[in-house]
Structure 1
Amino acid sequence: MSGMIQKADFRPPRGLANPHIQTLLPLLLPRDRVRLDTELLTLPDNDVVELSWTQPAPKDARAPIMVLFHGLEGSIDSPYARMLMRTAANMGWRAVLMHFRGCGRVPNRYPRSYHAGETADAYWMLSQLTRRYPNALKVAVGVSLGANVLLKLAAEQGGDGLDLAGAIAISPPLDLAASADAINIGFVRCYQRHILKSMKRKVIRHLEDGSLDHLDVQKLRELDTFWAFDNEVTAPLHGFGSATDYYQRASSGFMLHRIELPTLILHAADDPLMPRHLLDRLPMPSRSVRIEMAEHGGHVGFIEYRQGLLRPWLARRVAQQLENWRCVPGRRQQVQPLGRNQPLD
């Protein structure tokens, strides 16, 4: 696949190319200020997901909409979320972030949570947007785990199954098993420990209320890798036979050839959560998929030096793509596919 990847125009500042520096830099930069309104959306099984809408909202019901799906244990408070929401709002778009179950300020009601292959909630939320804003152009953006969910959803629904003009996937873990291995090596284990701590807190709440009976608190605390957690918690809770079964069935990388929706994937070759040459081992993507690979950038980092300041390249690249896809509201057929990727220079 390497010959079908286009080179991204991201360039890290001198001395800041290290993938861990790039990954952590967004946490150190000033946080974007965004006015938000919160909505609880009831799902078909009577659970809820929390939506965050930028304010003030466009008065025109035909204003384009950007839908954002966050990463593992992310939320509207994640730096990339606020940055992308503000970027879209400043362009006159209606912007909304869907928190996966349990990731908002309001806990979800049932033990069932979210995972990298869970697309039903996202599909339901998009269908509600279509009911409310039938004539608005819509683009979905996914980050990390949310990017995997978005790519899988696009593959499942075909060209006409989603009311979307396009999709942008940022740093998706295309092969979940490979990512679970990568995050268990060296310094990256720090990320794993931090995320697992948050995930375990949510499971403990369900253990205490008796809604989970196949696990106890002590055993949960001993799970120290994603492999172990997904094997003992994620897989049995969501109908998978094992972590291996979950990773195989939920990884979007094996479905890229099925995507018909115009799709842009932004990745960094040095992403510490993905083996460097993973793309070479995946099936060839469809003609609707464009992959832009930067040599540096880390995982959802991509901080560049521009106008005398450290700034997020993702804001600039996503804004460019949103503008490219913007057309007469409700006229989705005018949006052109991204077309065949060009070789790396």
Structure 2
Amino acid sequence: MPLIKSTYSAPRLFRNAHFSTIYSSTLRKVAFSTTQRDRLELEDGDFLDLDRSFSSEGNSEKLVILLHGLAGNAQRPYMKAMARMFSEDGWDTAAMNFRSCSGEMNRLYRSYNAGATEDLEAVLNHISAEKKYTEIALVGFSLGGNLMLKYLGENLDIPSEINSAVAVSTPCDLGASLEELSQTRNIIYSKRFVRNLKKELFRRHLAFPEQITKEEIAGCNSLLAIDELYTSKAHGYKNAADYYQKCSSLQFLPNIQIPTLIINAENDSFLSDTSYPVEIAKNSDNLHLEIPAHGGHVGFIQNKESYYHEERALEFVQSFSE
């Protein structure tokens, strides 16, 4: 597909990537409540929680599944706002909380990562068993977008109900994007990620003291160090480089078989050049790529309650809805 020319025009103040990113992640308030939490018991003895809402009529046959980003959860403003956008259009919503992200630590030493597509598959199996939905859309943010794209590109036999997908602010090349996030201009974000992830690792140490020590955790001063110490090893990879290489969605994009939209802002300081797969999109029948000039990281602010990427995601999915 040719590149999609974006119609997004950011309010003047929010043409600054940092303003749009920080405001959206820390100051935005969203009024939306999920109505049900499902606990999925996983085959390896672990669990994850799914936060769900249902259309006012209660009989919708359309569902959107949402996947959050690094150190996120289903109740983050960007997740609630996207759920609200689809809910108001008559869709049911199911927002994933990755392992250990729902407020309760998971049972195993492993947790979640950018390539753990088996957990998305478990959610889809859970939903399919209900035999309720004829249409399913997927929407992933950042790390969750990468996981979603990897799933779609590595599986030739996805459920037939899935008819479209949208990835927002997605690092398609994990290693290269980590290098960008580690640059001085992004120090405020990287420090926040490191601080939050280390808090989680200290809790994990209390549950698995034989697996990881307080001294090892205290010595981590970067996302790379955390991925070297924990993320890669806990999930069966040799090291961080092996994890990034095997889990980056970039290599799977040419295989995607359903209409899929990537919305990555040109001024997103988290993303590497390789997270804008222009040539792949040009040569694909299914991959659509939109690169707004502004928007930062999940910060496509408008002069109204809804954000551009929320309206755009619904519009894209609607265009392939029966």
Give the TM-score range, shorter chain: over 0.9
Matched residue, 2:307? 312
Matched residue, 1:257? 254
Give the C-alpha shift of residue 66 in structure 1.
Answer: 0.5
Counterpart residue identity of residue 70, structure 1: H
Distance 1:48 1:237, change over 3 A: same
1:21-77 Cα distance to aligned partner (Å, 9 max, x none):
1112223233233243212111111211011011566422x5200100111111122
Pairing of 1:26-175 with structure 2 (within 5 A): 26=24, 27-55=26-54, 58-60=57-59, 62-158=60-156, 160-161=158-159, 163-175=161-173
1:65-109 Cα distance to aligned partner (Å, 9 max, x none):
010011111112211101001111111111010110000022211
Find the residue that maps to 1:96 and give its secondary structure. strand
Distance 1:281 1:304, change over 3 A: closer
Find the residue that maps to 1:274 and give its secondary structure. coil
Contact (CA 8 Å) 1:19, 1:296: kept in 2 or not?
yes
Distance 1:280 1:317, change over 3 A: closer
1:272-299 Cα distance to aligned partner (Å, 9 max, x none):
1012465369756632111111011101
CA distance in 2, matches of 1:289, 1:283: 8
Matched residue, 2:190? 192
Contact (CA 8 Å) 1:88, 1:95: kept in 2 or not?
yes
Distance 1:277 1:126, change over 3 A: closer
2:316 to 321, 329, 341: 321
CA distance in 2, matches of 1:162, 1:117: 22
Contact (CA 8 Å) 1:253, 1:283: kept in 2 or not?
no
Distance 1:258 1:280, change over 3 A: closer
Structure 2: gaps of 5 or more residues: none
Pairing of 1:292-307 with structure 2 (within 5 A): 292-305=290-303
CA distance in 2, matches of 1:34, 1:161: 28
Counterpart residue identity of residue 263, structure 2: L
Give the C-alpha shift of residue 139 in structure 1.
Answer: 0.5
CA distance in 1, matches of 2:299, 2:148: 19
CA distance in 2, matches of 1:63, 1:249: 35
CA distance in 2, matches of 1:178, 1:297: 20
Contact (CA 8 Å) 1:254, 1:282: kept in 2 or not?
no
Give the C-alpha shift of residue 199 in structure 1.
Answer: 1.6
Distance 1:118 1:35, change over 3 A: closer
Distance 1:56 1:162, change over 3 A: closer
Matched residue, 1:12? 10
Q: Give the TM-score taking structure 2 as reference length.
A: 0.93
1:181 to 176, 179, 182: 179
1:105-134 Cα distance to aligned partner (Å, 9 max, x none):
222111111000110010111111111135
CA distance in 1, matches of 2:117, 2:107: 18
Find the residue that maps to 2:72 and give its secondary structure. coil
Counterpart residue identity of residue 312, structure 2: R
Contact (CA 8 Å) 1:111, 1:211: kept in 2 or not?
no
Contact (CA 8 Å) 2:54, 2:91: kept in 1 or not?
no
CA RMSD of aligned residues (A): 2.1
Task: Report which stretch shifted further, 286-295 or 315-324.
Answer: 315-324
Structure 1: gaps of 5 or more residues: 328-345
